[in-house]
């Protein structure tokens, strides 16, 4: 039952990876619209202003858009590398599982038919690390691997049932002990192989979730920078929501304090602008804005407390190390003092003269 649960949990875990991927796709679509809007604005400026000095004055705006294009291309390239790697790992694992089934489980026609039906996936090439595979193909490949593992698990249950029947026959007096030992060994190998395959996918899910979470954070930061520099009309509320979630993620991951302070400043400035241009006080809208600002301030206080606590912990650890070093130095000094005093005492001691009796006269 434990193996059955682990295989079913693989489906749930993969849905989290798909959700993160879809969130990144939506952010790319938002970025595409903003970049297109910027290019249209620049084209309108150039169209209506042909003089040399006007064009010179627009160079900074052109470079602003160029920087966004460069960073956008870098993010796109990183996204392509991640999705390419996901297909790479699933495809190679699929080939390993299929080869094992063909070599070791050749008496289960249903499982072999499942292998032959699902053998039309694109071949992965290591020399094409940025090639894009449709994510629907990746999902289909993942589902096929899960189906194959379920088939192997059902085959294992059938073999374990047969083993019990053979053991009952052995109990009647048939000399089939060695046969049962071999049969049990094959079942153990099959079970461990299945555990190995499931562990591979569990690790892939953990890895791919980490990749996409970090990429999502970078995308949110990129969008936040654009929305903070250029005030798009449709981005104020979306920008605030994304940065709020990003601040919570940064706080839990112990991100650098300066980054948190910069984001905090940008959100506070934006909220100040919104509150100054919003409806008069004592209205439902103004109260709603105040509640949002208070919730953000609560996040900032929690972040500041986390940062301060981390700093205090580091200071305490440094003090402990300093005290330990001082104690070691004191002990070494005491040892050196004792050693020097012993040496000085040994030098000051005069050697005693040996007593010799006097000779009597006449002797």
Residues 2-40: tens digit of each pLDDT: 898 999 999 999 999 999 999 999 999 999 999 999 999
Do both 206 and 262 map to the same domain? no
Task: Pick the last residue of a domain from 217, 248, 268.
Answer: 268
Residues 207 and 242 in one domain: no
The yes-or-no verdict on residue 362 having pLDDT over 60 is no
Write out pLDDT tens, residues 187-244: 999 999 999 999 999 999 999 999 999 999 999 999 999 998 888 655 555 555 555 5
Residues 59 and 191 in one domain: yes
Contact of 92 with 124, CB cutoff 8 Å: yes
| Number of structural domains the chain divides into | 2
Instruction: Please give the residue range of the domain that contains residue 21.
Output: 1-230
Structural domain includes residue 98: yes
How far is Cα 280 from Cα 273, in angstroms, rounded to an integer?
14
For residue 294, tell me if it sits in a domain.
no
In a domain, 290, yes or no: no
Cα dihedral 333, 338, 342, 345, rounded to 10, equals 90
Structural tokens at position 141: 């490949």
> Which of 238, 256, 199, 172 is CA-nearest to residue 29?
238
Question: Is the residue at 256 inside a domain?
Answer: yes
Per-residue H/E/C for 216-282: HHHHHHHHHHHHHHCCCCCCHHHHHHHHHHHHHHHHHCCCCHHHHHHHHHHHHHHHHHHHHHCCCCC
- Identify whether residues 242 and 262 lie together within a single domain: yes
How confident is the model over 332-338, as a mean pLDDT?
A: 53
Same domain, 210 and 254: no
Residue that finishes a domain, picked among 201, 230, 259: 230
Q: Give the DSSP letter of residue 168.
A: H
Cβ-proximal residues to 27 (8 Å cutoff; 6+ apart), any chain = 216, 219, 220, 223
Q: Inter-axis angle of helices 177-229 and 59-104, to 10 degrees?
A: 170
Burial class (CB in 10 A: 0-12, 13-18, 19+), 285: exposed
Domain assignment present for 332: no
Q: Percent of the chain beyond pLDDT 90?
A: 53
7 and 143: one domain? yes
Model confidence at 363: pLDDT above 50: no
End residue of a domain, out of 230, 246, 281: 230
Residue 18 counted as domain residue:
yes
Q: Using alpha carbons only, give the angle 292, 23, 285 rounded to the nearest 5 degrees.
A: 20
Residues 195 and 94 in one domain: yes
Asked whether residue 298 carries a pLDDT value surpassing 70, the answer given is no
| Coil, helix or strand at residue 202 | helix
**301 part of a folded domain:** no
Asked whether residue 125 falls in the same domain as residue 58, the answer is: yes
Residue 7 covered by a domain: yes
């Amino acid at each position: 039952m434990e193996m059955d649960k682990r295989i079913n949990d693989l489906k749930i875990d993969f849905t989290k990876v798909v959700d993160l991927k879809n969130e990144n796709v939506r952010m790319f679509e938002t970025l595409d619209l903003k970049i297109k809007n910027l290019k249209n604005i620049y084209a309108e400026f150039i169209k209506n202003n042909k003089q040399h000095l006007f064009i010179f004055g627009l160079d900074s705006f052109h470079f602003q858009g160029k920087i966004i294009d460069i960073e956008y291309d870098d993010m796109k390239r990183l996204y392509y590398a991640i999705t390419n790697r996901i297909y790479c790992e699933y495809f190679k694992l699929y080939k390993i599982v299929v080869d094992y089934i063909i070599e070791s489980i050749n008496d289960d026609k249903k499982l072999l038919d499942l292998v032959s039906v699902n053998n039309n996936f694109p071949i992965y090439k290591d020399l094409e690390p940025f090639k894009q595979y449709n994510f629907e193909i990746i999902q289909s490949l993942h589902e096929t691997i899960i189906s194959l593992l379920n088939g192997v698990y059902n085959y294992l249950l059938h073999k374990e049932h047969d083993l019990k029947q053979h053991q009952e026959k052995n109990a009647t007096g048939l000399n089939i002990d060695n046969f049962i030992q071999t049969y049990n060994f094959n079942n153990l190998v099959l079970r461990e192989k299945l555990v190995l395959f499931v562990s591979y996918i569990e690790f892939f899910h953990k890895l791919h979730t980490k990749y996409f979470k970090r990429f999502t954070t970078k995308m949110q930061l990129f969008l936040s920078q654009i929305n903070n520099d250029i005030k798009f009309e449709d981005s104020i509320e979306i920008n605030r929501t994304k940065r709020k979630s990003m601040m919570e993620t940064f706080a839990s991951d112990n991100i650098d304090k300066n980054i948190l302070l910069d984001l905090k400043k940008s959100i506070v400035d934006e909220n100040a602008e919104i509150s100054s241009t919003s409806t008069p006080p004592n209205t439902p809208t103004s109260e709603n804005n105040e509640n949002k600002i208070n919730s953000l301030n609560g996040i900032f206080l929690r972040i500041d407390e986390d940062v301060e606590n981390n700093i205090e912990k580091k200071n305490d650890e440094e003090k402990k190390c300093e005290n330990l070093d001082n104690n070691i130095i004191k002990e070494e000094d005491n040892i050196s003092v004792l050693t020097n005093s012993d040496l000085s005492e040994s030098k000051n001691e005069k050697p005693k003269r040996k007593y010799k009796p006097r000779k009597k006269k006449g002797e």
